[in-house]
Structure 1
């Protein structure tokens, strides 16, 4: 089946849709003890209400499932609530039962976008789930064009007609104060990021934890401001379909704009805070390519006499699955490419391919645990990268 046709089938009120990127813990690439896809307890509690029964010990529900992207035959899975004192979690199990292969337990699918669609039974347990694991960049691009960027550690759960019409909710809204002017005019992503930087928020943390914390904080602020601007419009209702589509497109475009350069802007601010002030952004290199960061600056890269060993490039991608090859040859004078990512793990084979192409992964230290143990020693933390780069120009 074509992916677009598949999405069309579930983009209605008959389905409840959960979307996430598969982590190394999901696929088993990290070597952890837990087997299977992580779903928040709140999500499984809505899909399978009977799991919430009072007094029942480890209640479970059997249901049918197919993975349509890979033509995996129908199988029977189990949703279970482990509710004993030593364990309090809801999980879906038996992913490998009755099938020879499933992409949901394929380590090479780590980082892929996955869509889980459960038939909507209202107050009754869902009886059927169908899944699509994006098979290439084109399918991921189509999905993110519909719903916005799906970053690692972020998931979306909503009814099919809502999630694919641009009005999906971001979930819980954390309340805090922010500049009053934002209530009058929606701030750009750069404005929110600079607010966090100029306020010195999370400055006490090391660069790795600071980056993760500020990204989360930025997202929380964005959701809060969006809620202020958009909720009254939705509650007011729409006179015609055109008005609905116009608002949905506006929301979708704003969300995409926010996520566009968010990570690069956070890194720029942290570099400066840590005294790494020598860098160029979006410098033009061979063939008009534009690496995200060049060190020490754009002019030095194009100066033939400048020592090659003192040149360094850093590419930035929230996810690297099927995208890391895009950075190859972005700066032909430099042999080793550094790639910053927030992806929660890669497979051993993917990592070997990167290493063979002289690509070095830079990953915030709090995420290192999601990578296979055999690879962690070869990962750069953000602090490692900053300190090593500063030493080049000391």
Structure 2
């Protein structure tokens, strides 16, 4: 269900001059214990905040603007550019500002420009809100911390050529999600020739594959729907039907993407596993290592079994993984996510339930500093399972 803040954030993006989104990191919310102030903004959004002349006017450049937050409160805030750090920040929120607190780590910050000195800001706190927003604009969690555009990541001519060769060869409008994921990996591996990273750098590989799949899907949507949208609709009902079809397909594909790419990482490392194994009743962990048969063999040592859940975002849904495998109830459960930051309180809850986060290495710095050493990289998890399986 689309709540009011989510609706307002989506509408603001659609009606803005420019827009930006990012996951709030521990540094933004003060959860690192550092002395940074305000929300760090990617340099990719500099044109949204300053003119080029303004950026060159001094070592520290400041600009006062009005920001309407959640459509419920307004501040006179400050854009600050630190030339020495090559860094942009939004600062000056006033006393009692309720959103830059450690508990907000991992929320999605949506920022839109209405006029040169007037902006809207929204904080989407739940996974349903975050996923709905990202699905609406077909943005991968790996593509945040940048301007929101209809074109996604800028493609090279070679990338466009390979993607459209794939699309021209399709015999269906939209292939199954597993086929899309496979095609994305093949295209990325062909274009950038780093297939060895499956073993040597799985953390970067999972991000690269995810980005490529979103690019492939966006391109396919453009081919399939571009002319229909350009020609307009005969009725509101026709438009709503088309919009729902597009959004439902996006949600369905995005939900399986991470799981497909993890399977490819495990296959490339010769790891044994069963995906969507049935443990007890209707329980289905995303992955059981080394196999479903081993799990149900009561003579197989419990300490040689491992479960892994795959969830693109995990602010709320991480609790779903706690009881997915009864034989492992007293041991660690592992959760791989593309989420960039969650609060220390949530990680403490995970620790109490013996849930260990597995996060691509580049994203670990977005988590509270006190917890970063407890979070596993994907490479660390792969090596852990290899050791269990004597590979």
Q: What TM-score, normalized to structure 1?
A: 0.80
Q: Is the 8 A contact 1:111 1:320 kept in 2?
A: no
Count how many residue pairs are aligned between Structure 1 and Structure 2.
Answer: 371
In structure 2, relative to structure 1, the CA distance for the partners of 1:144 and 1:9 (3 Å cut) is closer
Residue in 2 that maps onto 1:11: 11
In structure 2, relative to structure 1, the CA distance for the partners of 1:270 and 1:100 (3 Å cut) is same
Quote the Cα distance in structure 2 between the aligned partners of 1:359 and 1:20. 25
Quote the Cα distance in structure 2 between the aligned partners of 1:230 and 1:296. 43
| Secondary structure of 1:288's aligned partner | coil
Residue in 2 that maps onto 1:344: 340
Q: Which has the higher helix share?
A: 2
Residue in 2 that maps onto 1:35: 37
Stretch of structure 1 that moved more, 382-391 or 342-351 = 342-351
Residue in 1 that maps onto 2:365: 369
Aligned with residue 89 of structure 2, among 88, 91, 96: 91
Q: Is the 8 A contact 2:278 2:285 kept in 1?
A: yes
Query: What RMSD, in angstroms, separates the aligned Cα atoms of the two structures?
Result: 3.3
| Secondary structure of 2:351's aligned partner | helix
| Secondary structure of 1:286's aligned partner | coil
In structure 2, relative to structure 1, the CA distance for the partners of 1:88 and 1:102 (3 Å cut) is same
- Map Cα deviations across residues 291-327 of structure 1 (whole Å, 9 max, x no partner): 1101111122223332211111001112221221121
Q: What TM-score, normalized to structure 2?
A: 0.81
Q: Is the 8 A contact 1:63 1:128 kept in 2?
A: yes
Residue in 2 that maps onto 1:296: 290
| Secondary structure of 1:389's aligned partner | helix
Residue in 2 that maps onto 1:74: 74
| Secondary structure of 2:327's aligned partner | coil
| Secondary structure of 2:39's aligned partner | coil
**Unaligned 5+ residue runs, structure 2?**
none
The answer as to 2:215 corresponding to 1:213 is no
Q: Is the 8 A contact 2:29 2:104 kept in 1?
A: yes
Residue in 2 that maps onto 1:192: 180
Residue in 1 that maps onto 2:230: 235
Shift of 1:154: 2.0
**Unaligned 5+ residue runs, structure 1?**
none
Residue in 2 that maps onto 1:263: 258
Aligned with residue 24 of structure 1, among 23, 26, 35: 26
Quote the Cα distance in structure 2 between the aligned partners of 1:385 and 1:9. 36
Quote the Cα distance in structure 1 between the aligned partners of 2:127 and 2:212. 29
Quote the Cα distance in structure 1 between the aligned partners of 2:353 and 2:338. 20
| Secondary structure of 1:264's aligned partner | helix
Shift of 1:89: 4.1
Residue in 1 that maps onto 2:152: 170
- Map Cα deviations across residues 84-130 of structure 1 (whole Å, 9 max, x no partner): 4x3444432223xx212431x21221112333344x23xxx13243x
The answer as to 2:141 corresponding to 1:151 is yes
Aligned with residue 377 of structure 2, among 378, 381, 388: 381
Q: Is the 8 A contact 1:291 1:331 kept in 2?
A: yes
Quote the Cα distance in structure 2 between the aligned partners of 1:215 and 1:9. 25
